[in-house]
């Protein structure tokens, strides 16, 4: 345990930020799973709605630094391909 007051504060802040990042990553994974479920059902209209929300979640995660911007682009590209494979 640190002895210096500022170091003690850093430990507490880092714990808080780690929990926030973990929750945000979990929410992103949940949103990605919702998209996968919508695509597997084959319902185009529902998949379109979930797609928009999922793309937004991926962009926000990239902006916060949870995932790399290239990883975000890769995920969005893969989702678009899956969405376009669903019959209109």
Segment 52-82, tens digit of pLDDT = 999 999 999 999 999 999 999 999 999 999 9
pLDDT at 1 over 90: no
- CATH fold of 5-85 reads Methane Monooxygenase Hydroxylase; Chain G, domain 1 (1.20.58)
18-54 tens-digit pLDDT: 999 999 999 999 999 999 999 999 889 999 999 999 9
**Structure letter (DSSP) for residue 10:** H
Rounded to whole angstroms, what are the CA distances from 26 to 30, 33, 79?
6, 11, 18
- pTM: predicted TM-score of the whole model, two decimal places: 0.86
pLDDT at 88 over 70: no
Domain ranges of the chain: 5-85
5-21 tens-digit pLDDT: 999 999 999 999 999 99
């Amino acid at each position: 345990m640190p002895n210096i007051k500022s170091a003690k504060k850093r430990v507490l802040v880092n714990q808080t930020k780690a929990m926030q990042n973990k929750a945000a990553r979990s929410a992103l994974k949940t949103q990605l799973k919702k998209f996968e479920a919508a695509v597997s059902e084959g319902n185009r209209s529902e998949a379109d709605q979930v797609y928009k929300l999922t793309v937004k979640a991926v962009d926000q995660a990239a902006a916060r630094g949870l995932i790399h911007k290239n990883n975000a682009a890769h995920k969005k590209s893969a989702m678009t391909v899956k969405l376009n494979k669903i019959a209109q």
